[in-house]
Amino acid sequence: MKLLLSIFFVFQVVCSKVEFYGGSYLVYDSYNDYVVESSNENKRQSVASISKIMTAILVIENSRLDKKIIVDETINKAYGSCVYIHIKDKMTIQDLLYGLMLRSGNDCALMLAKSVGGSVNRFVEMMNEKAQELNMKDSHFSNPSGLDEEDEGNVSTVKDMALLYDYCCQNPIFNEIVQTKVYKRQDGMGFWHNKNRLLKDYSYCVGGKTGFTKKARRTLITRAIKGDHDLIIVTFNCGNDFEFHKKKYEECFETMEKQVFFDKGVYVIGGKPYLFDESLFIEKKKEDCVSYIIKDESVYLYVNQHYIRKQKLKRFCFVDLYQMILKDLFYE
């Protein structure tokens, strides 16, 4: 058994190498659920088509992908980025989802909203209900597409959009869609290529969504995984957003490291034995200060004195010891 030691880690602060020129940005650690770095993370603005990730996750959670619908006059209100589906076309929800996320089809957004919500207005209500559920405090949705010429558009922050994308990435169907480079339509009407060129230009990129309106300017959200690092980057009004995302990922992957708080095993804490089935660790930048506090039989983790997450302690008993012995005998 190991005796618990209270440890506080301090590292020298180094300056960021990649400069940001734009409205706001945020780097989010998806594994540890914390903001690695940001600028103007709570500044609200129109987010354009990256709001389609909210449309996509609601459709995935509330509809079968093989459901077929007949395109109707709802698409007459679509303009801007479209995949040019036609009234009376018979399409699957899956085809419409890929058209939505790969080609940013506003016509797809309207038909999906109508199918799932019964009406576009009801679907927008569902979007705002989901935002509240995900604690997106600075977000409000007005339509399923992200267009902002005829209404206030979909307003959010880089922080809220990172929270939303992190939630979406827990869904395997969503992940499969956003990391698809080329999609063959089920209706046999050709192929769609993903507008997120980081999928082609950066091998660690595993998805994302582009956006643009004259009001919002360029918006981009992407995710990249390298080793133990799982990061999301969101940028608003950044002219060289693809290049910034790529360079910022490389900077973070280079400067982040795993900090282990407790290795797998048994520890005596406050005179009582506790079992860690797996190592408790956090991915952090080298200059970050990390610490933990133990209270109420839970470990609370902090980065730069900001609370990140907690893990409930598991009391060790003889059954655990018996299982550990069996595992050593038969599985290792």
Which among 252, 275, 255, 256 is positioned nearest to 265, based on CA atoms?
Answer: 275
Smallest Cα–Cα separation from 149: which of 222, 245, 80?
A: 80
DSSP output for 254-281? HHEEEEEEE-SEEEEETTEEEEESS-EE
Q: Is the dihedral of CA 181, 183, 189, 195 positive or negative?
A: negative
Q: Are strands 272-276 and 314-315 parallel, antiparallel or unpaired?
A: antiparallel
Burial letters for 247-256: b for 16+ Cβ neighbours within 10 Å, e otherwise?
Answer: bbbbbbeebb
Q: Which residues contact 60 (CB under 8 A, 6 or more apart)?
A: 97, 171, 173, 174
Q: Is 162 left (phi over 0), alpha (psi -120 to 50) or beta?
A: alpha
* φ, ψ (nearest 5 deg) of residue 178: -75, -15
Cα separation, 173 vs 175, whole angstroms:
5
Whats the size of the chain, residue-wise? 332
Residue 17 labeled ligand binder:
no
CA 162 to mean position of chain CA atoms:
5
Structure-derived torsion over alpha carbons of residues 218, 167, 45, 209, reported in degrees to the nearest 10: 10
H runs (alpha helix) in the chain: 52-62, 93-103, 106-117, 120-133, 158-168, 172-178, 198-201, 241-255, 318-330
Catalytic site positions:
49, 52, 104
Binding-site residues = 209
Binding-site residues for substrate = 209
